[in-house]
Structure formats: structure tokens, C-alpha cells
A and B are shown apart, each in its own frame.
Chain A
Amino acid sequence: MMRVLCVALVTLLAAGVVSAQQPEFRGRALKLADIFAAANVAASRGDHTTAIARYQELIAAGVHDPDVYFNLGTSLAQSEDYPRAIFNYERALTLRPSDSKASANLRNAEKALEETRAETEGEASIQRSSSISDALYQRFTGNGLAYTLLVANFLFFAALAWAWARRSRARGLYALLVSSAVLLLFSALGLAVKSGLLREGPRAVVLEDRVALREGPDPRARVRGEARGGDRGELVDGDRDFVKFRVIGGLEGWAPAISLGRIDSDDATH
């Protein structure tokens, strides 16, 4: 009897807490949904300036959703702001690597940027990531790899324990051991790639057409080279309003932080 009373009391308390939290949550969700709907309507009408502002409002409110990034990238691409479109497609693909449409749009934006630049300059190319690890784990999410790692970890040690405790030499057990070990290594390496352990800093995209890379974090410092809009690289250091950017090609220098978009960052909005 006592046990029944306790369970009932806990249930009532939990229900009270949930009901107290729901109105705020619902109100916020509705508001965000309204902004999203307004942005979509503006984008559908071709008013991409309004649409971009609305999508950025959502991101500023903490929305970290691949569909929002996709729509923002699409509106930017329609406005021919290809570097920022590339940046937002990259963020969408970071959250949902299996998004084939976002991948296609990213390729289209890169192609459009190259063609636009080639028309005026004769030749153009964008420096994009070419590492094998990035290509290998391109279509896996970080959470998916984390779950895989947990399962493979459990399977591997369970099989190992079974084999050791029972002194079993069954083929099936060995197959399970080997396959779970391979899966464990693969997912562990993937998680290391996704979490940036193999990089020197977070990934970033150049947002302006031309960004001077200087020898120091100062606008008067000598220019070491130039990065072009859409170029990918890593942020290896920071100092006040400047960041040290290493382009995929190897060129490294200081640039204003506002001219670069951090792909792996949650709080940066551009």
C-alpha cells in the first residue's frame, strides 16, 4: 500500500513539472515556427533579402537545424552570394551528412561561384577539403558514429569475455570478435575525425570575395597572401577580432574574424 502511494506521488509531481514547462516551450516553438513560415513565404516570393534575415533570426535564436541552414543557403545562392551559401550548406551537411540535396546544392554553388569568377578572371577554382578521412566519414553523423562505437564496444568486450570465460573457440565467436573490433576502430576513428581531433582547429569558409591573409592580427600587417570566397580551411588561432586561418592549400595568415564562417561552431551566425 505504501509502495503504491509513493509511485502515485512521484507520478503526480512529474506531471506537474511537465505541465508547468509546456506553455513556455509551446509558445517559443510557435514563435520559431512562425518565423520559419514567414521566411519560407518570402523565399517563395523571391524576396530573398527578407528570407535571409528571417532564417538568420532563427539561427540567432538558437535553432541549429539542417533544414534551416539548407533554406538559408538556398536563399543566399539565389541572391548569388555563393560563399555564404556554401558556408550554410556545409553547416547543413555537418548536421545531416546524408542530405543528398544539400550536397548537390553545395556542388552547384561551388560551380556557380567558379564560373562567375572565371568569366571575369579567366580562371577560377575553390580550395575545398581533400582529406581521405573527411571523404570517408562524409556521410556519417557524429551521433551515429557515437552510437555505433557504443554498440561495437559492448559487442567486442562481451564476445571477448565470453570467449575467455568459456574458453570457447567457436568460429562464430571469432567472427563476432573480429567484426566488432573493426567496427570499433572505424567508429572511433570517425568520431575522432568528426570531433576535430585530427585537425588543428575548427573548419571555416571564406565569406568575402577576397580576404587578405596578413602576417599578424593587425590590418597594417604585411599581406602574406589572399584567400578567395568559398575557400575552406581551419582556424588555428585567434586574437581579438582576428583569426589565424590556414587554407586547405597550406597558405596561412591572419584575417578579420567577420570575413570567415566557422562551420563547426554553434553560435556563429552570418
Chain B
Amino acid sequence: MIRPLTFVCLVAIGTLAHGASAAADAEVEVILNATPREVRVGETFVLEVRANVKGGSLEDLTLADLKKYPELDMISHQTARPMQVSFGFGSGMKVESSLSHQYVMRAVSPGTFEFSPAVAKVDGKTYRSDPLTVVALPSNGAAGAAPDAPAPPREIGEELSGARYDPRAFLRTVVEQEDVYIGQQVDLMIYLYTRVGVSGRSLNPSKPAMDGFWVYDEQITNLQGSVVTVNGVSYRAYVLQKSAAFPQRTGELTIGAPKVAFDIGSMSLFDAPKRIERTGVPVTVNVKPLPKPGPADAVVGKYSVRARLDRGTVRTGNAVTLSVDVTGVGNIQDLRIELPPIAGVRALQPVIRDEQRFYGKALGGTRSWEWILIPETPGGHTIPAIEINYFDPDTQQYGSVSTQTLTFSSTGVATPAQPAVSPMQAPAKREAAVFGPIRMYSALTRGASPIRERTSFAWLLASPPLIFILLTIGVSLTRRRKRRKATTAAVQRALIHEARAALRGNDPRTFYDRIVASITHALVTRTTEPVRGLSNAELRTRLVAAGFDDDLVRRVINELEGADFARFAASGTNTEEMGRCLQRTETMVERIHRVRGKA
């Protein structure tokens, strides 16, 4: 078992040793190349820096002169790092790796650009490429300057106006006319001078404050730079803003300090870019009033004017279009035209259109007016000449241009205009809300508590149910009394009826028993107390207390005693006596029921 393991270890050690010896003999190839090596200004080329390493570890690959030339604009950067592992019987395991940087660059000015060799470090050893030379030839057009960007002065001495100098990057404001008339064009350029590479995407310029100016900015479509030497140092200068500014008031007007921020640094993913911010300096412009004497309505610039009618004859009531175009150099938005009144013609509000453009450096264009004229009376109509007064700052002279007199005629009688859209089809207009009229009379009632909060309301509300409840109770009691009375009377009648039956059946025992029961029932009903078992004296006392008179008491007691006696000695009674007893009992019961209680 030990032998195979020892063998494997020896093989492994031998392999590592062989690998180490292979590293010592690494094959390294460093390449610096440009395709093509000769370009014209504005054209791009690919600068490639590559290191191919076999059997070693690549530590670094640099090109020192990459950012040496500001005349070369770096557009993009790509990095490739392929790796390959191979095994061979003769040489064992070998690692092949390479690192490649490809820079797409553009020459912005002609020249010969010499790049020193690229340097690669492999396992602590340094390897170099051959040097490279790229030649940029002048382009077919103007060399160095972008087509739409005016080039700044190529040489600037110690006196650097409109800028706060910085060795790496600074902003410069250039105003070509610092002493102008009110309304005269001021050309404003803002440049970024830089010795570091600028990424167009990261560039973020801020416009300066321009209070007191009407400003027309020319759009900067792409970032084009030119090489400028400042105090003997080459800079790349980019145009950030190009404007035509027209002062709107006299005195000293200040153009504020511009600002810009942009990123610099490696284009690779692994190196964070660095943010740079720069602020320029404010620039003052002296604005003068227009020289006197001169027309009050004069505008600054130089213009021509043209007027036309779209037809010469029209039916009365139909429209004619009058067009006036004023074309020239200057701020056309300062132009004003008041159409003089025309007898028999109604003029609607004009439509105004502006078309501005640069004539070289000067801003100008055409301002057009269109009036709809409606002749209201037939006949010939004359449009008087329209005059434009201007002040030409170049010649410092006033001038004027005017249209020719125009005429047109209308025929026929005016007909009332028909609405283009019938009222039913007309779009609904927003109606103004109507709120009036106000009320001239008011009772001026003062804050009175609502009825529901008054005490009387609660009583009034509670009264019907309370009355209903009381009424219900009263009626119930009455009914109960009646029902009770009706029951007592029925029992009484039944007892008398049974007594009468016993009389007819000659049954004295039963007869007197019913007689006693009838009187006792009448007494219980009346006194509401039991009377059976009482002695005569007690019965007398109770009946007297219940309001019975003495005669009735005496009769009741006598009748009860007589009935009791006869009940137990029935043989001694006859039918006649029983009949009289029945009559007496009926009379006595009635008297008992009529007895009123003592107060």
C-alpha cells in the first residue's frame, strides 16, 4: 500500500517542479498596434494593446502614452481576457492566457502621435512591445475644427479673458461685443478647455444667468473639440453653448458664471470615474440706448418688407387675406406692426409666425403677419403702406422700409354670415354659473332652538303613550270588576235556582242548604271575607263594619239561624214556609248587594 502512494506523491512533485520550470521559461508576446496607422482628422482608428502569455501569470499591462495626446479623442474601450489550459506529454500542463485592450480613437487634429512601447509584467518580469506611430492627416475640409463649432483662438497668451485658469480644465465665456446698443445682438460662446479626456455622456453643463437679455440658443448637436494652446500648453476646447443674446434694457448687464460637471478616469468597469466640476466667471456687457434723434418705434437690425393680398376682388362680406413678411437680420421678435384702420373693411386679429435662423453669426429670419380682411361695403378698398423703422448697428444709421399700397375691391351686397356649424351641432360651451339675484327681504330670524330640543316637545311626545297606558289600566280594572260581578251574580242565580228546584221536589234539607249557601255567598261577595264558622256576635260585628244596617243584620242572622234549624229539622217545615223563605232570601240577597261600604 505504501509503494503506490509514494509513487503518486513523487509523480505530483515532479509535475509541480516541471510546472515551475515551465513558468521560468514563460513565452510572452506584447503587441501594440493601430488599425489603420494613418487616418484623416475626424476618422477613427483602433488602438490595440495585447499580451499573450504561455506558461506564466500576467500581472499588468500598461500603455503609458494612452492619454498623452489631447488631439486624440477616445470613443470607446473594450477589454478581453481569454484563458486556455492545455496538456501535453512532452511539456505537461500549460496555461495560455492573454489580455487585450482595444481603444477606438478619433483624431481631432492632424499630427504624428508616437506611442512608447506597451509594458507587460509576467511573473515579476517585464516585457515590452515595439513603439507605435499613428499619423493623422488633415481632413478634406477645415482642419481641426468641428463643422458646426467655431474654433476658439488657437493661441492664447498670458491674458486669458472670461476664464478662471486651471491647468487641467476650465470654462471660458467669450462675448464678442462688450459695448452694444439696446436690441443689438451679442454673440456668446462658452468653451470648456480640458487636458483630460471627457466623456460626452457625463458632460452636464449649466447655462449662465442672463437677466436682461432675450436669448436664442443654437443647438449643439455633438461634442466636437479643437486643440488650443494656452500659455504654451495644449488643451482640447469644446463648445458648450453658442447663443445670440439681445439686451432688453440699457446699462451694465451681467452674463452669469457658467458651470459644468463631467467624469474622467478609466473606461473599464473596475475603475470608478472621477467627477470634475468647474465654474466660469461672469462677464459684463455695456448696453447703450439708441442714438437720438431717431424714430421711437425703430428696431435694431436691417430688414426688408413685403406685403400681398391673396385676391384682388371679392364679394362683400367674404374674406381677403393680407400677408406681410418682414425679413432681415436682428431680433425679429421685436418687430411690431399695427394695421391702420381701413374704411369699410373689418380686420380680424392677425396670425403671427416667426422663422429664425443664423446668417453666419448674425441671427435673423422672417416674421409674417396674416390679417383676415372682411369688406363690409362694396367698392374699392385701399390698404395704406406699412412702414418699418430700424437702426443698423453696423452703419449706425436709421433706415426704414415700407410696403407698397395695396388695393382690392368688393362687389355685391353684404349677406349675413351663416354659421359654419348649425347651433345643434355646435360644441357646448362652458356656461358661466349664475348665482344671483340676492334676496332683498329676510325675516332676520335669530337663532331659535329647534322644537325637538324644547322640554314641551318631550312631554307632548310622551303624553299619548302615557295616556294610553293609563287608559288601558283603567279599562282593564273596570272590565275585571264587571267580569267578577257577572260571575258572582251567576253563582247567586244558580244557588237560588237549585233552592227552587229543591222546593219543587219537596226536599227541605237541600232547600235550606242552598238558602244558607246563597246568603253566605252574597255576604262573602260583598264583604270579600269568609263568614263561615263565625258566631252570631262575630258575624254581626263584621256586617256592621261592612256597612250593613241593623235591620238587615238582624234579618240575615235570623234567616241563617232559621235555615240552619230547618235544615236539621226538615220534617217540621212545610212547602209554603219554604216558598216564603225563598222570597225573603231573594229580597235579602238583593239588599246585601246594594249595601254600600262605610267611608
Contact = CB atoms under 8 A, between A and B. Distances in A.
Interface of A: 29, 32-33, 36, 40, 43-44, 51, 58, 62-65, 67-68, 70-71, 73-75, 77-78, 85, 105, 108-109, 111-112, 115, 142-143, 146-147, 149-150, 153-154, 156-158, 160-161, 164-165, 191, 194-195, 266
B445 to A, nearest CB: 5
A150 B461 contact: yes
Given A43-B438, A164-B472, A165-B475, 16 more contacts: A36-B442, A40-B440, A64-B447, A64-B448, A65-B442, A68-B442, A74-B437, A109-B433, A142-B452, A150-B460, A150-B461, A154-B464, A156-B464, A157-B464, A158-B464, A191-B452
Nearest to B470: A161
Contacts of B467: 157, 161
A160 B471 CA distance: 11
Contacts of A165: 471, 475
A173 B206 CA distance: 92
A264 to B, nearest CB: 11
Contacts of A36: 442, 444
A194 B433 CA distance: 30
Nearest to A113: B433
A146 B439 contact: no
B443 interface: yes
A132 to B, nearest CB: 22
B443 A67 contact: yes
A134 B441 CA distance: 29
B451 A142 contact: yes
Interface in B343-396: none
A64 B446 contact: yes
A78 B435 contact: yes
Contacts of A29: 444
Nearest to B472: A164
A161 B469 CA distance: 9
B468 interface: yes
B interface majority secondary structure: loop
Given A68-B444, A142-B451, A146-B457, A74 B468 contact: no
20 contacts: A29-B444, A36-B442, A36-B444, A40-B440, A43-B438, A44-B438, A58-B444, A63-B445, A64-B445, A67-B441, A70-B439, A75-B438, A142-B450, A142-B452, A146-B450, A150-B460, A153-B465, A161-B468, A161-B472, A195-B452
Nearest to B440: A40
Contacts of B439: 40, 67, 70-71
Nearest to A158: B464
Interface of B: 430, 433-448, 450-452, 457, 460-461, 464-465, 467-468, 471-472, 475
Nearest to A59: B447
A68 B439 CA distance: 8
Contacts of A71: 438-439, 442
A104 to B, nearest CB: 9
A58 B433 CA distance: 26
B434 A108 contact: yes
Nearest to A155: B464
Interface of A, helix, strand, loop or mixed by DSSP:
helix
B410 to A, nearest CB: 41
Given A70-B439, A147-B451, A150-B460, A108 B433 contact: yes
Contact of A32 (B434, B438, B444): B444
A146 B445 contact: no
A149 B468 CA distance: 17
A158 B452 CA distance: 22
Nearest to B443: A65
A74 B437 CA distance: 8
User: B442, B443, B450, B460: which has the most chain A beta carbons within 10 Å?
Assistant: B442
Given A63-B444, A153-B461, A160-B468, A112 B452 contact: no
A85 B472 CA distance: 55
Given A112-B433, A149-B461, A62 B442 contact: no
B446 A63 contact: yes
A213 B234 CA distance: 63
B207 to A, nearest CB: 29
A71 B460 CA distance: 37
A150 B461 CA distance: 6
B464 to A, nearest CB: 4
A112 B460 CA distance: 46
A165 B450 CA distance: 36
Contacts of B443: 65, 67
Nearest to B460: A150
B443 to A, nearest CB: 6
A111 B468 contact: no
B464 A62 contact: no
A62 B446 contact: yes
Contacts of B465: 153, 157
A1 B430 CA distance: 79
A51 B475 CA distance: 65
Nearest to B448: A64
Contacts of B433: 77, 108-109, 111-112
Nearest to A142: B450
Contacts of A58: 444
Nearest to B434: A108
A152 to B, nearest CB: 10
A157 B441 CA distance: 42
A191 to B, nearest CB: 6
Contacts of B442: 36, 65, 67-68, 71
Contacts of B438: 40, 43-44, 51, 70-71, 74-75
Contacts of B450: 142-143, 146, 195
B534 to A, nearest CB: 42
Contacts of A156: 464
Contacts of B435: 73-74, 77-78, 85, 105, 108-109
B468 A146 contact: no
A73 B435 CA distance: 9
A111 B475 CA distance: 63
A161 to B, nearest CB: 5
A126 B435 CA distance: 19
Contacts of B448: 64
A65 B445 contact: yes
A153 to B, nearest CB: 5
A40 B438 CA distance: 7
Contacts of A143: 450-452
Contacts of A150: 457, 460-461
Contacts of B434: 108
Contacts of B471: 161, 165
A156 B452 CA distance: 19
A190 B435 CA distance: 30
4 residue pairs, one from A and one from B, having the closest CB atoms: A157-B464, A67-B442, A108-B433, A64-B447
Given A78-B436, A115-B430, A266 B447 contact: yes
B148 to A, nearest CB: 40
Nearest to B475: A165
A215 B433 CA distance: 37
A150 B441 CA distance: 32
Contacts of B447: 62-64, 266
A179 to B, nearest CB: 16
A153 B444 contact: no
A1 B556 CA distance: 57
